[in-house]
Structure 1
Amino acid sequence: MGKVIIFNVIRFLVLILLQIALFKNIGYYNLVSFYPYILIIFLLPIGMPNLLLFTLSFLTGLTIDAFYDSLGLHAAACVALALFRIFFHKITLEVDMQESFNTPSLAEMGTKWFLSYVFFGTLVHHFTLFIIETFSFTNFLYTLASIILSSIFTVLTILLMSLLVYRKKSRISNI
């Protein structure tokens, strides 16, 4: 249990620093933005209590808001992502898996499940973020294009990061 907490704290610090130092400065004409920091919320343990999940998601978003000067936009989007995560786990995982403390990673859950989890979660996060940021229907097509393109590039970045730390399950441990 202590190992899981330490690993998640290190993951939090590394992803927040990457977001602030690297991905904040990468963009394409305000149309594409990278937000791979949401991987923090995706990789929190499955059996985590909902109140703790919402609190950690809110604090993650608030940390990003402090560096982006965005007055709670990322906090609201991260809480929406936490709500999606709870819903997605309820409809796709068995009851015994929902109560476990496993990390929903690419190696643990499989490519198909993890890809759909990250893709739809990123869409929810980006849709909430960009709609609250714009808060109008003027230039709706531009906002929609920004949501879709940013989601695609964020998912690709998350998958690349996941593949870099991908560890295949050992057959010996399954015996």
Structure 2
Amino acid sequence: MNSNRIILLIGGFFLYLIIQVLLLKNIVVFGLAFCFLYVLYILLLPLEMKTIPIMLVAFVLGMGVDLFYDTLGMHTASLLALAFLRNSWLKLLTPTGGYDENLQPSMLNMGFGWFTYYSLPLILLHHFIFFYIDQLGTNLFLAGVQKVIASTIFVFVMSIIVQLMFYRRRRGI
């Protein structure tokens, strides 16, 4: 990875964290759908990144969100689970010829269908773990399932909008 790409990744990290804690913290649709858009940062990390560095980034990002949300590690735990399973899930989705070098797994680079198969299960996993921890010790199973489904759909739609507005397709060399 070149130095420009590292600077972009660090800048993106802080941008996602700041937007999450300042703008998206209080956005809740119909009392069910929460906007945890910071998940998109982990999903869009380069394909060649190994699991341990991704987990370290996820830990710091999750702790940053937890610090501002006062959630005692719920975001960190769910984001670490997503980061741990991300590369394994990518291996299952690898095409026959493999992926191009230095490719970002975005919808614009890979296509809508591929991005849906890639991101939707990981977002669902993140939200399931987060809301499971949130509902632990209560009998609110149905409310938790509703929040998981509504938030997953909301974050998926928001991730598509963000990619269409702010990301560019990788040009061939």
Same fold (TM over 0.5): yes
- Asked if residue 70 in structure 1 is aligned to residue 71 in structure 2, the reply is yes
Q: Secondary structure of the residue that 2:25 maps to in structure 1?
A: helix
Corresponding position of 1:108: 109
By percentage of residues, which structure has more helix?
1
Counting only pairs closer than 5 Å after superposition, residues 27-38 of structure 1 correspond to structure 2 as 27-28=28-29, 30-38=31-39
- For the Cα contact (< 8 Å) 1:90–1:98, is it kept in 2? no
Greater Cα shift, 87-96 or 107-116: 87-96
For residue 169 of structure 1, report the CA deviation from its aligned partner. Answer: 5.2
- For the Cα contact (< 8 Å) 2:66–2:74, is it kept in 1? yes
- For the Cα contact (< 8 Å) 2:44–2:105, is it kept in 1? yes
Matched length: 172
For residue 101 of structure 1, report the CA deviation from its aligned partner. Answer: 3.1
Corresponding position of 1:143: 144
Q: Distance in 1 between matches of 2:5 and 2:96?
A: 21
**Cα gap change, 1:127/1:10 in structure 2, threshold over 3 Å: closer, same or farther?**
same
Q: Distance in 2 between matches of 1:154 and 1:24?
A: 13
**Cα gap change, 1:29/1:108 in structure 2, threshold over 3 Å: closer, same or farther?**
closer
For residue 39 of structure 1, report the CA deviation from its aligned partner. Answer: 0.9
**Cα gap change, 1:150/1:102 in structure 2, threshold over 3 Å: closer, same or farther?**
same
Corresponding position of 2:22: 21
TM-score, structure 2 length as denominator?
Answer: 0.90
Counting only pairs closer than 5 Å after superposition, residues 145-160 of structure 1 correspond to structure 2 as 145-160=146-161
Corresponding position of 2:134: 133
**Cα gap change, 1:47/1:127 in structure 2, threshold over 3 Å: closer, same or farther?**
same
Q: Secondary structure of the residue that 1:154 maps to in structure 2?
A: helix
* Unmatched segments (≥5 aa) in structure 2: none
Corresponding letter in the other structure for 1:51: I
Percent identity (aligned): 31
- For the Cα contact (< 8 Å) 2:75–2:130, is it kept in 1? yes
TM-score, structure 1 length as denominator?
Answer: 0.89
- For the Cα contact (< 8 Å) 1:46–1:101, is it kept in 2? yes
Corresponding position of 2:166: 165
* Unmatched segments (≥5 aa) in structure 1: none
**Cα gap change, 1:108/1:139 in structure 2, threshold over 3 Å: closer, same or farther?**
same
For residue 126 of structure 1, report the CA deviation from its aligned partner. Answer: 0.3
For residue 35 of structure 1, report the CA deviation from its aligned partner. Answer: 0.4
Corresponding position of 2:80: 79
